[in-house]
Structure 1
């Protein structure tokens, strides 16, 4: 259990296992503990760095927005701080979006990327979900006191009283329009796009992202010669939702199968 001072933020991280370095990036309102079901599997043949992102878990918030681009820069700085050579990255939800931005902004620092349950256009999310996200803010803190997210924050956060502030910042981020289509189209890091078959966006959106990466546009061929030129891949995990995909045994198994492919 350690802290790294990078970009003006004191990032908490844990190290598990040995082998090729792998960074795990958790979802919004969570922490590295979200990977509890898969951590041992990942650490079986990797040196895993489990990070708590800005304002989450054991990493205290700082005076800036919760922004995917800035958090991606934090992880790039952490990679330099730790002296890692192109670690692989697995991100879920918020972490999946951060992972994409890390690979887009700092491709020279990443080996392979798994981006799970992360949409690249706000209008791809289901309308009822967008309506719910519009209600996220400090006023909702009182109604979340019986949730695992609140319990986790109260248990580990450096300043437990900051939970309403985190909700305000996450809510503000959720309400901002975004479209990363053109950025993703130029992605050079081999990337697995992963989603649940009942996620926050329809499975067709993950296919759309795969199409942007030269995937699903032609027959793959007997020898794989028609697969995406950048080494990208797509996985839709059956019987999962946005809320339990990370706990499925298929999550780590699918991610590791991609990460251990020969370049």
Structure 2
């Protein structure tokens, strides 16, 4: 609409705050009112990646868009990252906000974090949607092109001495995906929250890996998005938002694929 201001998601002083939890200051932005919905971005990203997601859900939910530690405005002086660490951060943030639980939507690394949050802190997750998530870092989970690219990145970076703080942080963020996660499929049986497992039909995650995640969850939906790569929530934003909301509101006995 002509004259309408673009909201600077990820850099919005009107919506942004810092929460001092677990030795870091986590940056997050809040929009809307209603049941809490936690948004978790991917590797190297930030809360601004949800610019096409927040306006839709803010009409009915209290949307909390987080910058994971070492991402966006959430600085982290530590020397390494793990998804367990990120999941525990999410649980601490919800406690800080005096929220007993939330709906969770995670993309890529955020999807992995969402699964681990539900596994490690089951009471904190009402339902979770995860798009483009993997459970371990190798060519059985990731498409060959991505795995080869990551191997080249590791070979180039492992002998370097990073003196610049940003480059040192970028390397730490890269190593998160190179070294992690390590979630055995059978352990997914312990996730009691309903889960919506999503991936593009041309995702960087192998389709059989996505299906295996779905098959090993006790209460799950599956959606392989046609004509989509890894950025399902961007490439098919309207349909993506509608289907995730449908999942959040659905009655749940059965498994379903879409």
Normalised by the length of structure 1, the TM-score is 0.81
Partner of 2:186 in structure 1? 182
Q: Which residues of 2 match residues 41-56 of structure 1 at below 5 A?
A: 41-56=56-71
Q: CA RMSD in A?
A: 1.8
Aligned counterparts of 2:72 and 2:123: Cα–Cα separation in 1: 28
For these two proteins, the number of residue pairs brought into alignment is: 226
- Larger mean CA deviation between 70-79 and 119-128 belongs to 119-128
**CA distance in 2: counterparts of 1:162 and 1:43, whole angstroms:** 35
2:39 corresponds to which residue?
A: 24
Structure 1 residue 40: Cα displacement: 0.4
- What are structure 1's unaligned runs of at least 5 residues? 141-160, 215-229
Q: Deviations over 1:90-127 (max 9, x none)?
A: 00001000101000000011100011100113231122
Unaligned runs of 5+ in 2: 1-15, 158-163, 253-258
Match in the other structure for 1:171: 174
* Matches for 1:217-236 after TM superposition, within 5 Å: 230=219, 232-236=220-224
1:241 is displaced (CA, Å) by 0.5
Please state whether the residue corresponding to 2:227 is helix, strand or coil: strand
Matches within 5 A, 1:206-225: 206-214=210-218
Q: Distance in 1 between matches of 2:18 and 2:169?
A: 20
Partner of residue 245 from structure 2, selected from 247, 253, 256 = 256
Of 132, 135, 140, the residue aligned with 1:117 is 132
**Partner secondary structure for residue 254 of structure 1:** helix
1:240 match? 228
Aligned with 1:132 (options 149, 161, 171): 149
Cα 1:237–1:71 shift into 2, 3 Å: same
Structure 1 residue 195 displacement after superposition? 0.8
| Counterpart-to-counterpart distance in 1, 2:89 and 2:32 | 23
Q: Is the 8 A contact 1:137 1:167 kept in 2?
A: no
Counterparts of 1:125 and 1:137, CA distance in 2: 16
By relative contact order (CA 8 Å, sep 6+), the higher-ranking structure is 1
Aligned mates of 1:179, 1:22 — CA distance in 2:
24
1:51-70 alignment, distance < 5 Å: 51-70=66-85
- Aligned partner of residue 228 in structure 2, secondary structure: strand
Does the CA contact (< 8 Å) of 1:137 and 1:169 recur in 2?
A: no
**Whole-angstrom CA distance in 2 between matches of 1:21 and 1:72:** 17
Q: How far off is 1:7 after superposition?
A: 0.6
